[in-house]
Chain A
Amino acid sequence: MKQEYDISPDEFDLIERYLGKTLTGEESVAFEKRLQEEPVWKEKVNEVNLLMLGIRETALVEKLEGFHHALAGESLIKKTKPVISMVRVWLVAASCIALLGLGYWWLMGNESKYEKMYAAYYQPDPGLPTTMSVANNYQFDKGMVAYKAGDYREATDIWLGLSQSMPANDSLFYFLGMAELALQHRDKALNYLKPLADDPQKPYSKEACWYSGLLLLKEGKTEEATAFIRRSQHPESKKLLLELNQ
């Protein structure tokens, strides 16, 4: 698998149709013939197959934990079965159900209220205009292009590389915080935003207050959140504080 070749869009398409077994009889014969005669073609087919497999496998791995949660409770009952009576099994099961019910009520009844408020008020910062100038600014702008395209991972990768050469750049840290927030990396986002929020002299301090406040609100830390939201002077802050006090 040396990959000293390109795979054109048409080749990708053809290989995918071959792997998906949707080629016509005639196409299939020509394809197989090519596989026999061209070693590079065989490599391309193998590579596309592995690319597709890897993408699917990653998606499946992300699903497995969800499947595993569906097992919760079942294994507890099975493990205790040989040593305790059926009455106790039922008691344990009933307690579990009651606890799950209480947990569900607690989560849905309290947390979701703040999560809903967060979802209603959170809007990602639209970002800065990009000019694609020189050196460090070029890299910063490159990250901004990725950020504005919603490619937050790419943006953080580029900006993290810059943070060594621009250690005290508040704009950089603010937008790193914004990108991490969009990626739902709570701790990383707060690490970037809180120092800005805590220092009113810094640029982006008010914005950092707003987003830090929203993050804390999402977690139900209403007192801390209220302080940040109030300091943010965000156009929506009064409305949100009013909702919070209701």
Chain B
Amino acid sequence: MDIERQFIGLKESDEKVLQYIYVSNYPKVEQFILGNSGTTDDAHDIYQEAFLAVWRNVQLDKFRPQNETAVAGYIYQIARNKWLDQLRSVKNKKTADLPDEISHQLADTPQLDDAEMGYLELVKEEYERLGDPCRELLNRFYFKKESMREIAAHFSWTEASAKNNKYRCLQRLRNMIINKKENGIP
């Protein structure tokens, strides 16, 4: 898959491109983790974290692939660093034998500061608690990139109502986050 298609697919969250990238890069990461004291469950978790980190960096304009293997290399590097960090953190005996030449510079570039990361986690947490109609509306608009016209047709609303409802849902999510932050309660 060419570089532009990979980049646009990641940026626009095109499901087919995302799945292609996910499936084609997993085996190499799994092989590395299985070969370094890990299990398939470890590989699954680490790989998904790395995949999300790459996707997030593309969303935040902090990563743009420069050649066709850049996405694959970036996922692998993040996954590898994460796994090595995890091994070190549990003081696995084999850690001492692991190569330590990898530069963490690229992979560990902070995507967001602590406050932003905390806020992002709250968004994800509270979004799960948002009512189903709101989640569906926001998902269609922000993830599936459907137009207001398409969303209005789906819900049998006018375009103006769809727009108002989208705002209400965002405002509701925002208020839930503010309440959680201020009072620690939903």
Contact = CB atoms under 8 A, between A and B. Distances in A.
A53 B143 CA distance: 9
A154 B132 CA distance: 9
B52 A150 contact: no
B132 A60 contact: no
B99 to A, nearest CB: 21
Given A57-B56, A67-B23, A79-B34, A51 B133 contact: no
A54 B23 contact: no
A67 B120 contact: no
Given A7-B174, A58-B127, A67 B133 contact: no
B124 interface: yes
A56 B12 CA distance: 10
Interface stretch (A68-76, A86-94, A207-215, A220-228): A68-76
B123 A50 contact: yes
Contacts of B84: none
Interface in B113-167: 115-116, 119-120, 122-124, 127-134, 138-139, 142-143, 163-164, 167
How big is the A interface, by class? Answer: 35 or more
Given A53-B60, A55-B138, A61-B52, A153 B18 contact: no
A61 B139 CA distance: 12
B40 interface: yes
A239 interface: no
Dominant secondary structure of chain B at its interface with chain A: helix
Given A54-B127, A67-B23, A151-B132, A60 B139 contact: no
A157 B130 CA distance: 11
B108 interface: no
Interface in A1-54: 1, 3, 7, 9, 12, 46-47, 49-54
Contacts of B51: 64
B142 A59 contact: yes
Contacts of A150: 131-133
18 contacts: A1-B116, A3-B174, A9-B164, A9-B167, A12-B167, A46-B116, A51-B123, A53-B123, A55-B142, A56-B13, A56-B142, A59-B143, A60-B55, A63-B15, A63-B18, A67-B23, A68-B26, A70-B23
